[in-house]
Amino acid sequence: MSRIQACFEQLNTDGRKALIPFITAGDPNRDVTVPVMHAMVAAGADIIELGVPFSDPMADGPVIQKACERALEAGTSLHDVLAMVTEFRRQNEDTPVVLMGYLNPVEAMGYETFADACVSAGVDGVLLVDLPPEECEQVVPRFRQRGVDLIFLVAPTTTDERIRRIGEAASGYLYYVSLKGVTGAASLNVEEVAARVETIRNLAQLPIGVGFGIKDAASAQAVSRVADGVVVGSALVNQIAANAGQTDAIAPAVSAVLAEMRSAMDE
């Protein structure tokens, strides 16, 4: 059983929902990321999504685009991101870590090499934003046979047939994008999310994490009532950006946002 599957099963037993924070690795520099990861776990994170910085993050809004720019300016590479997970694992063997990014750096490294490196570092899952399920037949086995979960996005516009196909290819969980558009976008309609999550549940037998539009404790609580997990990114990356000139303040600022969400979700 993967760490991700074990995490969701334990949460289900406990009657709780997964809090899944996203930060961009190497933002604003490479020394900050691992301490922030540990701080997020202490604040109540169940799974960590670690963004691999990329020069053209087309699914991301300006907040995470700028985070990618800061991380790339700091010289952060895919090898560095894997090294961060290795370092994190020296103190934490339990919290699942998912790498979220784009195909280009992975293809440059090579799928086999990357999948092996994920196992060595202690990466539990990979979400490649621009890997469509129609083109993943050669990719899925390389991760599956190594026990690395391949996670896919589901959008409000995804057809039932495509959700079925994604459900067959994916493992770990599905990431439902609750808003049309890019990360950090407008307001959330929880009733629409609830209806869509129910449809996805009937088509794919995996936990569902909902992201995009989770800005505060209230929205995290509302989404946690209808989904298996709550993914929060831009709200945390905003804290990192606001404290980029005073890096000691980043972990406490990120932790404060997460702790409020965790408390609201557990009420």
Q: Which of 70, 230, 213, 52 is nearest to 126 (CA)?
A: 52
Question: For this structure, is 60 an active site residue?
Answer: yes
How many CA within 13 A on the CB side of residue 237?
30
| Distance, CA of 262 to CA of 26 (rounded, Å) | 25
Other residues' Cβ atoms within 10 Å of the Cβ of residue 159: 10
The active-site residue, picked from 27, 49, 149, 228, is: 49
Q: Which of 20, 13, 14 is nearest to 229 (CA)?
A: 20
Residue 213 CA to chain centroid, in angstroms?
A: 14
The active-site residue, picked from 9, 14, 56, 60, is: 60
Question: For this structure, is 161 an active site residue?
Answer: no
Structure tokens at 72: 């790339």
- Which residue numbers are catalytic? 49, 60
